[in-house]
Structure formats: C-alpha cells, structure tokens
C-alpha cells in the first residue's frame, strides 16, 4: 500500500508507540506517520506553531490518533481546541486509549471525536486493531477536504 497521506500519532508511551509503528509497518503505512508525544506538541503540530511553525501548510493529516492520558495538555482538551478552531474544525480524530471508562467515551463523542477505539489488552489484537485503523482512515475513509 502506498498512499500519500499522513497519520499523526499522539502517544506518550514509547512502547505503545513502537508497537503501533510496527503494526503500521506491517501494513506498509509506517512512512506516513508523524509522532508527537504530548498534547501541546500535538496542538503546535496541527496549528503550525512553536517547533512546527515551518511545517508545510498543505500537509493536513488524514487522521489524528489521539490518546487521552497525555502530559501537559490532555487528549480531550486537544480535541476541544481543534473543534473550536475553524482551521481544524473538521479534522478527523480517533481517540485511541487504554481507558474503557464510559465517562471518557461519552466526553470524547461530545467533544466531536470521529471514533473511539480502546487499545486491546491482547497485543495480537492490538496490532490488528491499529492496522485496521490505519487502512480504514487512509484508504477507505473519504476526508472532508481532498
């Protein structure tokens, strides 16, 4: 699979990051992944601020894989900020988290998440889930702006 689209992975756990990247690599999507490690970095990346001020303006991620429990700015806060900004109002965001709390799930949807995926405990399942997510959002789903 060779698609010219980007995935933004917001993940503070480096082991999860590695497993996710490996799973995406298995389906040949690893080259399209940009990784940031906390909420503030994610916002800077998406709004081209701070260390990402010089990032290419046309490069809008096809999907943001967003964890909830993040340092500095939480995943739900990031989601809110994205939805409140006209530039990122329609940005597809998938919440990918260890939490299976109903509270978190409802809050995510209320704040405009496009999808809520719980990281499966079983690593084989986890790898499959990540792979499916990558394929779906990059190959199957039609984004708001082409």
Residue 11 CA: distances (Å) to CA of 4, 71, 141, 142, 146: 22, 10, 22, 24, 26
- Whose tokens are 């704040």? That residue is 111
CB contact at 8 A, 9 and 41: no
16 lies in the binding site for another protein (CB under 8 A):
yes
6 lies in the binding site for another protein (CB under 8 A):
no
15 lies in the binding site for another protein (CB under 8 A):
yes
Single residue of 22, 31, 50, 84 touching another protein by CB under 8 A: 22
Q: From 8-16, 31-39, 87-95, 108-116, give the range in contact with another protein by CB under 8 A.
A: 8-16
Interacting residues with another protein between 85 and 144 (CB under 8 A) = 98-100, 119, 121-124, 126-127
- Whose tokens are 């988290």? That residue is 97
Beta pairing partners, 94: 65, 115
**What is the binding site for another protein (CB under 8 A)?**
13, 15-16, 18-19, 22, 98-100, 119, 121-124, 126-127
């Amino acid at each position: 699979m060779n698609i010219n689209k980007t995935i933004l992975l917001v993940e503070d756990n480096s082991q999860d990051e590695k497993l996710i990247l490996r799973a995406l690599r298995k389906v040949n999507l690893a080259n399209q992944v940009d990784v940031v490690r906390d909420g503030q970095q994610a916002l800077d990346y998406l709004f081209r601020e701070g260390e990402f001020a010089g990032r290419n303006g046309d490069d809008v991620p096809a999907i943001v894989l967003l964890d909830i429990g993040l340092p500095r700015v939480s995943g739900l806060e990031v989601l809110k900020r994205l939805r409140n900004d006209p530039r990122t109002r329609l940005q597809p965001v998938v919440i990918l988290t260890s939490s299976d709390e109903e509270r978190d799930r409802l809050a995510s949807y209320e704040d405009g998440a496009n999808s809520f995926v719980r990281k499966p405990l079983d690593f084989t399942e986890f790898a499959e889930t990540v792979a499916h997510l990558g394929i779906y959002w990059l190959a199957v789903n039609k984004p708001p702006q082409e």
